[in-house]
A and B are shown apart, each in its own frame.
Chain A
Amino acid sequence: MPEFLARLIARVVFSVLRYWILHRSDKHLARSLRLVRRVAFALSGDQMVLSALTDLVEIFEAGGKDTELIRRMARETTPEYARAILRSLMRKD
């Protein structure tokens, strides 16, 4: 993922994303992420974005321990950490 896009997502969307993760149900998040995936892929055409968001959709569809853990981490995260994580997740090397 390009650096500017990671920075943009982390800084602008960060608060919204964290609010969603902490206050919405797994099913709701899975639905929203499917939409985000469609839009992000349409705009970027980036296979890595598609693949990483697909992983996230599947995780929220399944629910359980993985989403509990994501919420625990989301409570403590900062835009800087979020950007670093996104940068790692979007790699496909």
Chain B
Amino acid sequence: MLNSKIDQVRLGIIGCGRIADLNIQGYLDHPKCELVAVCDINEALAKKRMQEWGAKKYYTDFEKLCADPEVNAVEILLPHTLHLPAVISAARAGKHISLQKPMCTELWEGRKMVEVAKQAGVWFRVTENFMYYPPFRLMKKYLDAGEIGTPLSIDMRLAGGAGGWWVPLKTWLWHIDPERCGGTPAVYDDGYHKLSIAKFMLGEIEKVKCWLDFTFAVVDVPSLVTWKHKSGQVGVWEVETGVNLMMNHKYYGADEWVEITGTKGVITGTRCTSRLMEIPPLILYKDGQHIAIDDIRDDWADSFHDAGWHFIDSLLEGKQPDLSGEDALYLMKFWKAIWKSSCENREVSLSEIKEEAEQTNA
């Protein structure tokens, strides 16, 4: 099945909550993607989404959507503890899978997903949108083209603030509950994007050292994460929240800053989720000059759109989409090393992170 191309992607969306507003965008306007079905445990929401997005049918049970022969691929947007059963169900029904990050709550679950998808012969990716944010894609191109020389370091900041679009309280609660989320809300859940960007820009990680503090007992801010890439560059990620810091936003009340320093220049991405500062989304400094790049798509939704297109295009071409299951497992190990470093207050090498044995109740 992996070698066979498909002419048309007939998609099922599993999970119709808040983030689906963004994930759906690329699928709706891709000429070779047909939205066949949607699924949500909340029937009223599933019906509403079916009408809003022009799907043919709706389900309230993901097993039933997966059994639908008309569907040949699924986008899974469920709470983290449901990722494993949904991936197993989709893979065994022969559907190609795009799973929303973070991959899993435990490493063995991620390994199981990779194995099940491989056995079923379906493409499997764990999507995260930051890698498709147009200014970050361009940043990577400049980096690879040697515009700033040899990269020396990456510096990232997450500023959380007041406001943001409406998210149901129940959704917030499972997101900040370590047991149901699988980790912490900032450095693990949202952080998956940043860890992905660090790896995307500068490659694999050798070791980490960090400090996670907590607000409200469970929200891991302020925090500071540092690491060293295998290729020698250092990375730092600072995470903070200003309770009265009003964000200029359309989505979540948070904004990002990514800066890479090289031997002959600096390149800075100034926004992503929000618009904390109205300055160009990408600034390149080289040869003593600032070059502001502002003629580029820079809405956060663009990154979701392009992530959707990438999945569809990959299936049409019969090739593995980026952000494979193995890549996602790597990012999970990056997170586990961060957590271990914070708990044990020491430097942790990624090679110390071992996958646990599968639990029998899976």
Question: Interface on A for B, CB 8 Å cutoff?
Answer: 52, 55-56, 58-59, 65-66, 69-70, 72-73, 75-77, 80-81, 84, 87-89, 91-93
A88 touching B162, Cβ below 8 Å: yes
Within 8 A of A (CB), among B144-181: 162-166, 168-170, 173-174, 176-177, 179-180
Q: How far is the CA of A51 from the CA of B195 in the complex (A)?
A: 36
**Interface segment, B99-107, B213-221, B287-295, B303-311?**
B213-221
Residue of A nearest to B165 (CB): A93
Question: Is B243 among interface residues, defined by CB-CB distance under 8 A?
Answer: yes
Please give, as numbers and ranges, the residues of chain B lying within 8 Å of A55 by CB-CB distance.
Answer: 168-170
7 A-B pairs besides A65-B180, A66-B170 with CB distance below 8 A are A59-B169, A66-B174, A69-B218, A76-B217, A77-B216, A88-B163, A88-B253
B215 touching A76, Cβ below 8 Å: yes
A81 touching B243, Cβ below 8 Å: yes
A72 touching B217, Cβ below 8 Å: yes
Q: How far is the CA of A75 from the CA of B218 in the complex (A)?
A: 11
A88 touching B164, Cβ below 8 Å: yes
The 4 A-B residue pairs with the shortest CB-CB distance, nearest first, are A73-B216, A91-B166, A84-B243, A55-B169
A87 touching B163, Cβ below 8 Å: yes
In the complex, number of A-B residue pairs with CB atoms less than 8 Å apart: 57
Q: How far is the CA of A93 from the CA of B21 in the complex (A)?
A: 12
Q: How far is the CA of A58 from the CA of B171 in the complex (A)?
A: 13
For chain B, the bracket of interface size reads 20 to 34
A91 touching B218, Cβ below 8 Å: no
Question: Is B244 among interface residues, defined by CB-CB distance under 8 A?
Answer: yes
Within 8 A of A (CB), among B272-330: none
For residue A10, give the distance in angstroms from its CB to the closest CB of chain B: 11
B217 touching A65, Cβ below 8 Å: no
Please give, as numbers and ranges, the residues of chain A lying within 8 Å of B176 by CB-CB distance.
Answer: 69, 73
21 contacts between A and B (CB under 8 A): A52-B169, A55-B168, A56-B169, A59-B170, A59-B173, A65-B177, A66-B170, A66-B177, A69-B176, A72-B218, A73-B176, A73-B216, A73-B217, A73-B218, A77-B216, A81-B215, A84-B162, A88-B163, A88-B166, A89-B169, A91-B163
A66 touching B166, Cβ below 8 Å: no
Q: How far is the CA of A7 from the CA of B176 in the complex (A)?
A: 24
Q: How far is the CA of A66 from the CA of B166 in the complex (A)?
A: 19
Please give, as numbers and ranges, the residues of chain B lying within 8 Å of A58 by CB-CB distance.
Answer: 170
Q: How far is the CA of A84 from the CA of B163 in the complex (A)?
A: 8
Q: How far is the CA of A56 from the CA of B180 in the complex (A)?
A: 19
B244 touching A65, Cβ below 8 Å: no
A76 touching B216, Cβ below 8 Å: yes
Please give, as numbers and ranges, the residues of chain B lying within 8 Å of A84 by CB-CB distance.
Answer: 162, 243-244
For residue A15, give the distance in angstroms from its CB to the closest CB of chain B: 17
For residue A17, give the distance in angstroms from its CB to the closest CB of chain B: 15
Most chain A C-beta atoms within 10 Å of own C-beta, residue among B177, B217, B253:
B217
Please give, as numbers and ranges, the residues of chain A lying within 8 Å of B165 by CB-CB distance.
Answer: 91, 93
Task: Pick the residue among A65, A88, A91, A92 that contacts B179 (CB under 8 A).
Answer: A65
For residue A88, give the distance in angstroms from its CB to the closest CB of chain B: 6
Residue of B nearest to A66 (CB): B173
Q: How far is the CA of A91 from the CA of B252 in the complex (A)?
A: 12
For residue B196, give the distance in angstroms from its CB to the closest CB of chain A: 26
Residue of B nearest to A82 (CB): B243
Q: How far is the CA of A65 from the CA of B218 in the complex (A)?
A: 13
Please give, as numbers and ranges, the residues of chain B lying within 8 Å of A56 by CB-CB distance.
Answer: 169
Please give, as numbers and ranges, the residues of chain B lying within 8 Å of A87 by CB-CB distance.
Answer: 162-163
For residue B162, give the distance in angstroms from its CB to the closest CB of chain A: 5
Q: How far is the CA of A35 from the CA of B180 in the complex (A)?
A: 31
A69 touching B164, Cβ below 8 Å: no
Residue of A nearest to B180 (CB): A65
Please give, as numbers and ranges, the residues of chain A lying within 8 Å of B216 by CB-CB distance.
Answer: 72-73, 76-77, 81
Within 8 A of A (CB), among B224-264: 243-244, 253
For residue A11, give the distance in angstroms from its CB to the closest CB of chain B: 14
